[in-house]
Structure 1
Amino acid sequence: MADIKIQRSHALGMDKARALAQDWMSDAAKQLGLTCNLVQGEGEDTISFERMGVTGQMKVRADAFELDTKLGMMMSAFKPLIEAEIDRNLANILAKAKAEGGTA
């Protein structure tokens, strides 16, 4: 198994971070075929996701997104590509928020 851990700091606040995380969750379900589940907490939300060969969680906080993904044996060979795509997606989400007037 291979692990992918990515953390992106931001200054969006919890409400904006939640909205962006929900957008990410919708896109991940459509584009990547992930089954996602959101659990909202007081200071942190957790999005759990999975599909064959991939499981993980995204922690959503007022000041950071933290993604932890585990790849199965077959998907491990694609770790560099998957990691780059996840990192690019998070960067795009934060850039979009910044362009809309948030502080990423």
Structure 2
Amino acid sequence: MPSIDIRHAHSLPHAKARKAVQEVAEKLAERFGIDYDWDGDTLNFNRSGVDGKIDLAPKNLRVTANLGFLMSAFKGPIEAEIKRVLDERFGA
């Protein structure tokens, strides 16, 4: 079971939604050293202590991540930051 499981509705066209997810991934890579790659409409990401993905669908997206023992202590702040960025990029 994922440590983090967030679903977020959106109304963006597919290309714009994918671009927004890409921009989020680039920001995470820059700030936290996260590696990522696309597999179809799923962006997989990882770094030490975190392994997850963002599944992009036509009307919503889902962020799931497994947090390692040390990172699980920061679950609340991590979820809050993910939700903030999703609201910023995709609207509340």
Aligned residues: 92
Contact 2:49–2:70 (CA under 8 A) maintained in structure 1: yes
Q: How does 1:66-85 map to 2 (within 5 A)?
A: 66-85=62-81
Structure 1 residue runs of 4+, over 6 Å off?
A: none
SS of 1:50's equivalent in the other structure is strand
Report the structure number with the largest CA radius of gyration: 1
RMSD across aligned positions (CA):
1.6
TM-score (structure 1 length as normaliser): 0.81
Contact 1:57–1:69 (CA under 8 A) maintained in structure 2: yes
Shift of 1:2: 6.3
5+ residue gaps, structure 2, are none
Structure 2 CA distance for partners of 1:93 and 1:39, relative to 1, 3 Å: same
Shift of 1:13: 2.1
| Identity %, equivalent residues | 36
Amino acid paired to 2:42: T
TM-score (structure 2 length as normaliser): 0.91
Give the equivalent residue in structure 1 for 2:87.
91
5+ residue gaps, structure 1, are 96-103
